[in-house]
Amino acid sequence: MEENIGNFSLAKIQSILSNRKYLLIIVLIFVGSVFGLLSLIPSKKEPPATGLPHPSINPSIPFDNISYPSKPPTTISPFPKKDAIIAKVGEENIYQSDLNIEMDGYPPVKNLDVRDFLLKKIVSDSIILQGGQKDNIVKLDDGIFNNPNKDYKKRIQSVEQVKKAIEEQAEQIEGYVVSIWFYNDNLGSLGYDGGKKFALDKITKLHEDVKSGKLTVIQAGEAIKNDASLAQIDVNYKGNAIFQFKNKKTGDSITFDSDFDAALWKLKESETSDVFALKDKNYKTGIVNEALYTFGQVDKIIVNPNLTNFNSWLEKYKKSYEIKYF
């Protein structure tokens, strides 16, 4: 008597199993079913790129030069929530979502802990924003401040707004420098001594005309550009004739000569420096020689005894806010 299983008899089942062709079909159906079930399991998706700018390895905001009370922790939860608080700066909580945005797409850098690096940057941004509000430069709200869902692009724009405003208030000078080179790596047809004397005679006359008010410093620069005879001592005499310096703060370099820079910083508005002979290193020989004559004039001076530069402003406010890492 045949034993029935469903619509199949035991004999029929044994017949099917004995047939390798049917057995292979059954195996394939089973494997396909397993993969089908696995595809229904949701996979983890990476957050979309924000396209926000990231600080360079040498960021304009000098957050890496600031000493902090404690080093940011180097260990984090393997799956931190975006609204998890990872630090506190004064009145602002710093969230995991802030760090996620900064790290999104940030390239790995050899010998750099990117997380610590960017967390310091976020801390610095917070100090800048809070100091900026105290100085009535920006107004903070939860759209850019102390909120895990802040508009990060607007936050960065506000940081730059504060920085620019402070730099404009800081002590600075503006003006022009005119120059005549006589040994610009290659000696001209007059030789070293002949070229040096030729350049000194030319710039001395221009210097006297600027000091007396006969020429402006800009006109002196144009006179150099229009003097074709200078080609015999410097083939690039037009490009070297004059340059303007702007927004120079205390400690900034104006030229490659520190003594000449110091003389420029001592000038009053509309005052002209003496003629200086500056040295330069010849890239071919490596020898340092006097290579040009130059003088400068300061057109504008912003004096602020309470604010020498942005770095000093940031350091002051850094001391005003407690920083904690979690």
DSSP codes joined into one string, 183-200: EESEE-TTHHHHHHHHHH
Provide, rounded to the nearest whole percent, the portion of the chain with pLDDT above 90: 62
pLDDT at 16: 53
Please say if the pLDDT value at position 213 is more than 70: yes
DSSP conformational letter for 236:
T
Residues 154/264, Cβ–Cβ less than 8 Å? no
Please say if the pLDDT value at position 88 is more than 80: yes
Please say if the pLDDT value at position 278 is more than 70: yes
What rounded mean pLDDT belongs to the chain? Answer: 83
Return the closest-CA partner of residue 150 out of 125, 132, 131.
125
Strands 288-302, 276-281: parallel, antiparallel or unpaired by DSSP? Answer: antiparallel
Residues 183/279, Cβ–Cβ less than 8 Å? no
Return the closest-CA partner of residue 187 out of 294, 295, 284.
284
Residues 276/30, Cβ–Cβ less than 8 Å? no
Return the closest-CA partner of residue 131 out of 325, 324, 321.
321
Please say if the pLDDT value at position 50 is more than 50: no
pLDDT at 47: 43
Residues 240/234, Cβ–Cβ less than 8 Å? yes
pLDDT confidence bin for 325, thresholds 50/70/90: very high
pLDDT at 59: 42
Please say if the pLDDT value at position 12 is more than 60: no
pLDDT at 45: 45
Q: Output 57 or 80, whichever has higher pLDDT.
A: 80
Please say if the pLDDT value at position 284 is more than 90: no
Please say if the pLDDT value at position 205 is more than 90: yes
189 residue type, one letter: S
pLDDT confidence bin for 223, thresholds 50/70/90: very high
Q: Output 58 or 258, whichever has higher pLDDT.
A: 258
pLDDT at 243: 97
